């Protein structure tokens, strides 16, 4: 009857989502209750935001610590029912292994010369230098994608340092191709022990994909236009030649016609 497959994820250092399945022998109307506690709380707290989807129970509760901290206390989770028929389950979890950053937002693309610049928003909940990012991009004409790992960095101009920004650039891009980008975040191991990535950001694209149909039509049309134009030009030149240089009559044909007419006249005279 006890809850099984308990799994918790600490989203963006702001709230915890725990899910579990009902025990094999639990009745269909079993109502589980989740309690949690960690060192620093005076008493345990009850989760009140429950849900169930496709037979899986879930509960969401606020869970956060100060941004600047070197240690995170373990969190104890208890799942039980009000009746004595359901066996309670208690688990202790290291919250740093459950961290999942929020999806990067405000992803912007810009192209300058032969480079594409990618920028995205900075996290408001994670300490600085505790996240790294992966930028995946691919040419719209190709199926294979490339991934760039981006570490938080500083921009330096002369003797002044500017605040860290989340950005990277892709050099030597094809100006006639469309590029598609998406970004995700992951906690750095020196800050958290989690292996969870954020969800990928919404895909953004820049540039125009070459239309192969256009080139196919172009390849067929150009030779056809050249052929038709050549035929028209030849016909026109032939007519122009006749107007400028009319054909010279053959003297033999003239003499032949003249003598033929005289013979006809003499034959008519003899009959008369």
Q: What is the DSSP letter of 247?
A: P
- 198: part of which helix (H) or strand (E)? none
Cβ neighbours around 36 below 10 Å, total:
21
The answer as to whether 221 is a domain residue is yes
55: left (phi over 0), alpha (psi -120 to 50) or beta: left
The reply to whether 50 and 121 lie within a common domain is no
Shared domain check, 227 and 198 = no
Residue where a domain terminates, one of 69, 100, 131: 100
Question: What CATH number did the domain enclosing 52 receive?
Answer: 2.60.40.10
- 76 and 113 inside one domain: no
179 C-beta neighbours (distance < 10 Å), count: 21
Q: Between these two residues, 213 and 233, which has the higher pLDDT value?
A: 233
Q: Give the model's pLDDT for residue 155.
A: 45
Does residue 269 lie in a domain region? no
Average pLDDT taken over every residue of the chain: 80
Do 194 and 229 sit in the same domain of this protein? no
Residue 41 inside a domain? The answer is yes
* Residue 265 reports pLDDT greater than 60: no
SS (HEC) of 148-167: EEEECECCEECCEECCCEEE
pLDDT band, residue 260 (cuts 50/70/90): low
Residue 20 lies in a domain: yes
**Three-state SS sequence of 119-151:** EECCCCCCCCCCEEEEEEEEECCCCCCEEEEEE
Q: Which pLDDT score, from 0 to 100, does residue 139 have?
A: 83
* Residues 134 and 186: beta-carbon distance below 8 Å: yes
Q: What is the pLDDT of residue 31?
A: 83
Distance between CA atoms of residues 157 and 161, nearest Å: 7
- DSSP annotation of 69 reads -
Determine the pLDDT at residue 196. Answer: 95
Q: Domain end: 206, 223, 245, which one?
A: 206
Q: Do 12 and 65 fall into the same domain?
A: yes
- The verdict on 87 and 117 lying in the same domain is no
Burial of 99 (0-12, 13-18, 19+ CB in 10 A): buried
Q: What is the pTM of this model?
A: 0.69
pLDDT digits (tens, 9 = 90+) for 157-211: 434 444 446 888 888 778 778 889 999 999 999 889 999 999 999 999 887 765 5
Domain that holds residue 116: 108-206
Which of 56-59's residues contact partners 24+ apart within 8 Å by CB, and which partners? 56/19, 56/20, 56/21, 57/3, 57/19, 57/20, 57/21, 57/22, 57/32, 58/17, 58/18, 58/19, 58/20, 59/17, 59/18, 59/34
Q: With 90 as the cut, is the pLDDT of residue 236 above it?
A: no
The answer on 95 and 9 residing in a single domain is: yes
CB atoms within 10 A of CB 150: 17
Whether residue 268 is contained in a domain is answered as no
Residues 6+ apart with CB under 8 A from 192: 96, 97, 99, 130
> At 154, is the pLDDT very low, low, confident or very high (cuts 50, 70, 90)?
very low
Q: What 8-state DSSP symbol labels residue 49?
A: E
Q: Domain for residue 21, yes or no? A: yes
Q: Are residues 177 and 207 in contact, defined by beta-carbon separation less than 8 angstroms? A: yes
How many separate domains does the chain show?
3
Give the end of a domain, one of 82, 100, 118.
Answer: 100
The answer to the question of residue 267 being in a domain is no
Looking at the structure, do residues 81 and 120 belong to the same domain, yes or no? no
> Percent of the chain, pLDDT > 70?
75
């Amino acid at each position: 009857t006890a809850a099984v497959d308990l799994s918790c994820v600490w989203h963006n250092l702001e709230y915890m989502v725990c899910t579990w399945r009902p025990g094999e022998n639990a009745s269909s109307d079993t109502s589980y209750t989740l309690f949690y506690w960690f060192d620093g709380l005076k008493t345990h707290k009850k989760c009140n935001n429950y849900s169930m989807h496709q037979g899986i129970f879930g509960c969401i509760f606020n869970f956060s610590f100060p941004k600047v901290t070197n240690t995170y206390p373990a969190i104890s989770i208890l799942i039980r029912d009000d009746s004595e028929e359901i066996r309670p389950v208690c688990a202790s979890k290291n919250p740093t292994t459950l961290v999942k950053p929020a999806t990067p937002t405000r992803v912007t693309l810009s192209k300058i010369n032969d480079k594409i610049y990618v920028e995205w928003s900075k996290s408001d909940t994670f300490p600085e230098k505790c996240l790294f990012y992966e930028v995946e991009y691919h040419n719209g004409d190709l199926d294979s994608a490339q991934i760039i790992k981006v570490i938080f960095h500083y921009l330096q101009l002369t003797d002044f340092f500017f605040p860290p920004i989340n950005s990277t650039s892709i050099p030597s891009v094809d100006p006639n191709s469309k590029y598609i980008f998406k970004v995700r975040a992951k906690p750095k191991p020196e800050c958290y022990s989690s292996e969870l990535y954020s969800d990928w950001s919404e895909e953004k694209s820049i540039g125009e994909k070459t239309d192969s149909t256009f080139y196919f039509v172009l390849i067929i049309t150009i030779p056809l236009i050249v052929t038709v134009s050549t035929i028209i030009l030849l016909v026109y030149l032939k007519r122009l030649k006749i107007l400028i240089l009319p054909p010279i009559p053959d003297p033999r044909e003239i003499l032949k016609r003249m003598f033929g007419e005289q013979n006809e006249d003499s034959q008519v005279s003899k009959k008369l």
